[in-house]
Amino acid sequence: MSAERTAPPVAYWVVFAALLALTALTVAVAAAPLGRWHTPVALAIAAAKATLVVLFFMHALHSTRLTRIVIGASLLWLGIMLALTLADYLSRPWALMADAAR
């Protein structure tokens, strides 16, 4: 099936260079005055890096449909957990913990 078909090794080096560049970018961007956009931007860069690793280092690009379904399923369930949990907490107008300062 697709066990023999993977990217030539040079692809690994290109992806590696891109990953390092994205890491430098995320560090640089942290120093920029982005206000409330810091988190979405950091997550977007991290997601891009993770996508590169999954597609090329983990050979997802050349894997079976079943494998890709499993990858999609894990993202789906993670998404459900994050979406519903944050929808709850982000829609509460009151403070999270009434905690006396130490």
Partner 1 sequence: MPANPPTLAHHFENREQQHEAATLAMWVFLATEVLFFGTLFTGYAVYRQAHAAEFTVGSEHLMTGVGAANTAVLLTSSLTMALAVHAARSGRPRMLALCLGLTMILGSGFLGLKAWEWYTEYREGLVPGSGFHLEPGPTPANARQVELFFVFYFVMTGLHGLHMIVGLGVLLVLLVRSRRYATGYGTAVEVAGLYWHFVDIVWIFLFPLLYLVRH
Instruction: State the residues that interact with partner 1 by CB under 8 A.
Output: 1, 3-4, 6, 9, 12-13, 16, 19-20, 23, 26-27, 30-31, 34-36, 38, 42-43, 45-46, 49-50, 53-54, 56-59, 63-64, 66-67, 70-71, 73-75, 77-78, 81-82, 85-86, 89-90, 95-97, 99, 101-102
End-to-end distance of the chain based on CA atoms, in angstroms?
Answer: 62
Closest separation between CB of residue 14 and partner 1, Å? 11
* Runs of H (alpha helix) within 3-102: 9-30, 38-52, 65-90
DSSP string, 72-91: HHHHHHHHHHHHHHHHHHHT
Q: What angle do CA 75, 46, 83 make, to 5 degrees?
A: 40
Closest separation between CB of residue 27 and partner 1, Å? 5
CB 1 within 8 A of CB 64: yes
Closest separation between CB of residue 3 and partner 1, Å? 5
Closest separation between CB of residue 19 and partner 1, Å? 5
